[in-house]
Structure 1
Amino acid sequence: MSASANTRRRPADPALWTLVVAAVLLVSLVTAGFMTGAAVEIVEALTWLLFAWLCRQVIRSPGADPDVRAFWRTLGLAGLLFIPAELLTIVSYAGGEAGRWLFLAAMLFIVASVTALGWAMIAFPLRAPRSERLRLSLDVATVMCALVMLVWILWLPAGSPRADPPQFVVTLLASATALVGLTAGVKLLLSGFAPFTMAAGLPLAAAAIVGSWSLFNLFNLSSEDARFVSGAQVTTAFLYAIAARVQLLRMGGRPSGLTAHKRRSYSRLPYLAIVSANIMLLAVLWHEGFTARGWGMVIGSAVITGLVIWRQHLAFADNALLTERIKAGMRDMNQQKRRFRSLVQHASDLTLLVDRDRAVRYASPALIPLLGVDPRQAVGRQLQEVLRADDPAAAERLTAEATSHRDGARMQLPAHHTDGTQRWLEALATNRLADDSVSGFIINIRDVTEARVLEDELRHEATHDRLTGLLNRSLLEDFARNRAAVPQGAGRGVLMLDLDGFKAVNDTLGHQVGDALLVTVAERLRGSVRPTDIVGRLGGDEFVVLLTDTAERCAVAAAERILTALAEPVMIDGHRVSPQASIGVAIGADDQLDVLLHAADTAMYEAKRDPAGGHVRVAGNHAGYHAAASGSAAEPA
């Protein structure tokens, strides 16, 4: 739905406009004197009947709040009570003793109707927390007491009750009607809640004011001006009907039918009522003394004083309770602050607060044992400088990732202690730039050196031979798979080597000598090849050498160097051992190590079958090479 559709004015309601037009027309006829007597009472009775029916429509509206239903139900009852009052008034026009009693009966129905209206205004609840409900009720009572004092002054303009009983009754009713409307307004102002919409509240307030005026002047005006009282009574009935129709229409967009807005924490209205009550008391006593009206003002002032004392007692009790809660909260906060400070000060993990420019604003004492840096000297320095990380861009990447990830960024980085030792740090950075109390990055750092060393050791043990330290078969395969393709015209060579007579060494000299021999062979293998070549142990006395960027001639030369190096005798536990080996050579551009290993293994066993030993055989080449024991030369066999 577009914005223009949302702001489009609601179409006029025909029923509402009919009520307004009928009210203007009939009130004009009554005040002009064209409609009098029974006709006016019939119009009022029909209007009150219409009002009761509209109240029923409001009650049956879907989604109506229970308090709204109760309020309009009571208003509808008040409207129904006005109907017999109007009918009895019509009959009383016949005059005589019967007419007088009928008029008194009509007044009783009016009293009942006004009572119902008052109950509707007074009974709707103050929607406030239970802890505030009593204070709010006292505030409402204070304001209403001041209003009652004002009505008391208006009701007894001569200082004492009038001798005319009818005027006494209607004046009392007028005063009660005025208080009914004022009660609803005061409760709305103080509590922020009413069981009617604001649009319906305006005609309701106007009806209470006009109705009060008509009752107050029922016997005050001359017979020539009585038409204005009748017009006011018709106006009152139509205003109530209009209010009910407006309430029903507004409930189409607000099904609950409530008016509810945020209540202020305090209101000046009760204090204004107290000041007004005291002014009225002084004025009446100054001019009249202790008349009936004066004594009424004294009693009203005493009631207001009692209400104020009660209200202040509650305020003092609340303030005392609030003070105790604040003190308890401060104690808890100080205790938590000390606990937090102790946790930070004695924590083994480092806590840093870094601004958006990566300058350190706070460093916990854990910085000293972690990196040997004084936390006070770290303040104002760049994060990279404080961490002493090997990677110059590590701090920048850490904060950048913390900015782009809501849950923060985690990173491990190598750093150096001031004593020169290397440390592995795990940093967790959280972006709190938007938090005004932080305005920076919170970085928690812990030392994971031991865990990282253990991880490296486990990884090394999983990929290297434990005895010789050479690569094992799994790492050789991974290494071969992950290496880049060899250059054009170059090849990859695999040398498969098996020691000759190694079982005899183990059986005659013991496994300790055999293990030492394997370690010696591994060292001589590493020393016989290029740094870019890879040496590994497949198991037992089998070794493999991966040659990169090589050709057959170069691979054979490398094998000859190995045989020459191995032929050098070695003393192990007092035993002179001269190791010999057979080597198979495979050359190819295929990056599948298994193919070359199989070819080199086949060639090695062909060389091993030579009784002379110390032979090199190339896969696919039946010619063999023999290296002299002295290692001075190699010649075709």
Structure 2
Amino acid sequence: MPPARSTTLPRAAATDPVLLALAGTVLAAVGWLLAGPGGVETHVLVRAWLGPPLNLVLVAGALRLANRPGRAAADRRFWRALAGTGVLLLIGQLGRLATALRHPDAAAVATGRFQTVFVLAGVAVLAAAVVTHPRPPAPGRARVRYLLDTTAVVTAAVVAIWFMTDRSAAYGAGAGAALAAVVIGAALTFAVTRLIAGGHSPISSVAAAPIVAAAVLQCLQGAVLPAATSWRIPLALQVAAVALISAGPRLQELGERVTASRPPRRPRSYSVLPYAMLGLVFALLPAVLPAGLSRTALVALGGLLVITAIVVSRQLITFAENESLVRRSEAGLRTLRRQEERVRLLLEYSTDITSLIDHTGAMTYLTPATRMLGYEPGELLGVRVLTLIHPDDLPAILPDLQRLMAAPGSTYTYQARYRHGAGGWRWLEVTSRNLTHEPSVGAVVSNARDVTDSRELQDRLRHEATHDALTGLANRVLFGRRLAAALAGGVALLHIDLDGFKPINDTYGHHAGDAVLVRVAERLSAALPAGAVAARLGGDEFAALLPGADAAAAARVAEEFRAALAEPVEVDGHRLTIGASIGAVTGAGTDPEALLRRADEAMYRSKHAAARR
């Protein structure tokens, strides 16, 4: 079962039943081999019986990793090769067990020829897998770093192998053991260089560490320890080495589970491999220095070691600080990119048009919302915004727009009609702010939203409030305003009352009466000169306002209207005739109500005169 999201690899390893069983068994065995009762025969048999099960753990773990779904083909080949190495080691362990069962004596403490052959074969299989494992291409500097790391590892390995072979000869170790140590050391050097320094490894450093430690222990017990060393130590080192290499695949599996539950971590930008190799070479110095060095030489050598350790430590601290700065910078860049992406999406899907306008009035940036005006954003780049505004709206807003362009930091909000790409006009409410003084902007920023529907609704409501719903003429309220506005310059006023309208309503119905009223309104509007205002005051009462006209002009309009009414009105196949009583007055001043009363009185005098005739 995968570990929880907050699980770390050390915590997962400390609670893993496989690793716990492996560690418990090996610790008990090593402790007993080092200090337990019994002679060499019993200890040799215990070591021989422990080898095959531990190798089976290695084979099973490597095969589980090789068969894990989603793993790359090259990584599968590596883990199958490691499983093959485990099988060869298992065969060698079984041969050792057979030998120990026949001759459980001190000669069985050392690694025999049969087991050595299969160990070397297993190392060859692993080396072949490393050779064929692909390495991703790297740029020039990465190749230089790779070569430098490789040189450091190879140099340290040559020194260490030379040291081991030299000690092997000095302590009287067998030639086979020395050869095995040299081959294992060389293979280890190659594997570390090819996989870890190469930049792409199928095995993590945590899983590789116990395998490397197992190889080192094998070298120690096979080529470095003096021949006179107690048989207890080699046996304990052999069991520890086999257990360590068997734990590697399990640590890899746990590490992959923990990594899968966490976001990927950025690889380190520096390598500690050259410094580790430096430490390895320095660690060998005390063992290879000749006896009898002077105190001064020893002090100088000690100082060299201390200063080197300080320099390396300072260098690693600097690397770690730089790495931390780089990660913080990358985190800041990721945050900035997320913010930029958020702003981009907000602008892209906003229904408001955001634009930048330079000092010439040309648009240099527009959001995709310009499509609501029938344009793609690129179509309007370089277009002066004034060319899109309706000519009737431009005079009212142009002075304020000019003041906005001349005053950095100022803001101006207005409504105007803008040309639609498919023809027609759309009302936009625009808020513009002059940010030409801001270096990061250097333009006037405008945000515009389409208010056509609300503007048309307002205009419709305003029209309905000031116009007659049936005829479309001005109502009494609007007519009174226009009269009051024009009265100071002198006006002529016609007050009209229809004759014979009530019988039409009573005989043919209100719909016929409404049709007659509409025709009367049309004929009244047609009879008026430009600048005059026609109104329906209510019922069958109409009025006409003639600004600046005299009595003669009013009489001519009245006669023209009467002539127009003489033509019958056709409604539902009926030819209906209607007349009108018209009162005409002229006047000037500031009292519109008084003029309306005079026109009303004149209309009634006309009606009574017609009735007497």
Scaled by the length of structure 1, the TM-score of the pair is 0.48
Scaled by the length of structure 2, the TM-score of the pair is 0.50
